Amino acid sequence: MTYRSPRAAVLTGLGSWLPPDTVTNADLEATLDTSDEWIRSRTGIATRRRVSPGVSTSDLAVEAGLKALKSSGSGGADAVVLATTTPDELCPATAPDVASRLGLSGVAAFDVSAVCAGFVYGLATAAGLVATGVADRVLLIGAEAFSTLIDPGDRSTAAIFGDGAGAVVLRAGDPDEPGAIISLVLGSDGGGNDLLNVPAGGARRRVPTEEHSRYLRMQGREIFRFAVRHMAAACATAAEQAGWQLSDIDRLVAHQANARISNALGDALGVPPEGRASNIEHVGNTASASVPLLLDEDNASGALSEGQRVMITAFGGGLAWGAATLVWPSLTTVA
Ligand code: UT7
């Protein structure tokens, strides 16, 4: 899928929020057959955050959304899109509740489900709402209480995933102004559906027949292989549609699944290590929240600065992937 519109979606605010509870590799060593050395060297992760009991995706989304709205200089939006793999309930969508709690009762609000590619899919959804004139300002949130899907006894997923939320505000604007989403590429391959799935709880198998079927299952090695190939191809297409060479990319903001994946992607695209955004060490893989969390942290630290050409990309269960380009605008960080 490609994207072209004279009425562009322009990034105008951002924010993020992490639950306070931290799980270290040493904490995992205490309950699982794993080691700090294995987790750091195979994934790049040292700590991740976890929601405490009773805290859910909507709570994270509201915190991040509030900051993004403040950062945009306006408390308003006329649509709320929530990318998440962990909605508060199977039905209804979580976004209307988030919108109401943000004081946005009455606006369009719905969830987008594309697991780790959720934010890029949400970006395309928000850009579409703006392009068609359905909305002038969209609050797009990626939020995950991903730990609620994790089997505490599965070392291959418990070591990787974390909880958190990131949000951006997009407003209608000119395609040539900084912050405008210039190009967008999306793709999927349902043939890889069972490489990452939660077998029970949905329409196919409502009630778990065994304990483990309500948890996430992941064939990490197979996904790893697809991840670099599909993200690199999506980035190449997004760059071409933007009229960029790959060497024009100033900052590569890739979904934080594994430091080895991000580095292999950087190598494939020829982006030097100093141009690769990374926060996986302290947040782990936060699925839909990964990219907006990273954007907010990089903006706050100054690693992302006005005028930089930014490539966003993500990949995950589905399988689903995507990439988007923009020139970084001046944005306020809200503490
Ligand atoms: O977010 C988007 C969706 N997800 C991804 O993109 C994940 C992509 N995949 C990965 O990040 C990596 O494949 C993992 C980090 C999940 C696994 O790393 P790997 O280097 O591919 O390891 P592996 O799956 O090939 O497993 C190698 C060994 C296995 O032991 P045996 O069978 O060789 O005895 C695993 O059981 O490592 C073992 N292992 C662990 N050992 C200690 C797996 N997890 C752990 C662990 N601690 N936490």
Domain boundaries along the sequence of the chain: 1-335
**Is residue 39 in contact with ligand 1, taking CB distance under 6 Å?**
yes
* Dist. CA 309–CA 34, nearest whole Å: 39
Model pTM above 0.75:
yes
From residue 293, give the alpha-carbon distance in Å to each of 64, 277, 288: 9, 11, 9
For 65, the enclosing helix (H) or strand (E) is: helix 57-71
| Residues in Cβ contact with 94 at an 8 Å cutoff, skipping those fewer than 6 apart | 57, 58, 61, 82, 84, 87, 88, 111
Find the 29 Cα to ligand 1 centroid distance in Å.
15
Find the 216 Cα to ligand 1 centroid distance in Å.
14
The answer to whether 281 and 160 are in contact (CB under 8 A) is no
pLDDT tens per residue, range 57-97: 999 999 999 999 999 998 799 999 999 999 999 999 999 99
Instruction: Name the residue at shortest CA distance from atom 9 of ligand 1.
Output: 220
1-335: which CATH topology? Peroxisomal Thiolase; Chain A, domain 1 (3.40.47)
**Amino acid letter for position 293:** L
Residue-level pLDDT at 3: 60
Tokens standing for residue 204: 């196919």
Mean pLDDT of the 279-299 span:
98
Instruction: Name the residue at shortest CA distance from atom 20 of ligand 1.
Output: 42
The answer to whether 171 and 179 are in contact (CB under 8 A) is no
Residue-level pLDDT at 2: 55
Find the 266 Cα to ligand 1 centroid distance in Å.
21
3-state secondary structure of 166: strand
3-state secondary structure of 201: coil
Tokens standing for residue 33: 């057959």
Res. 317 pLDDT band, cuts 50 70 90: very high
* Dist. CA 206–CA 279, nearest whole Å: 36
Residue 4 in this model has a pLDDT that exceeds 70 = no
Active site residues: 116, 255, 285
pLDDT tens per residue, range 197-238: 999 899 988 888 887 889 999 999 999 989 999 999 999 999
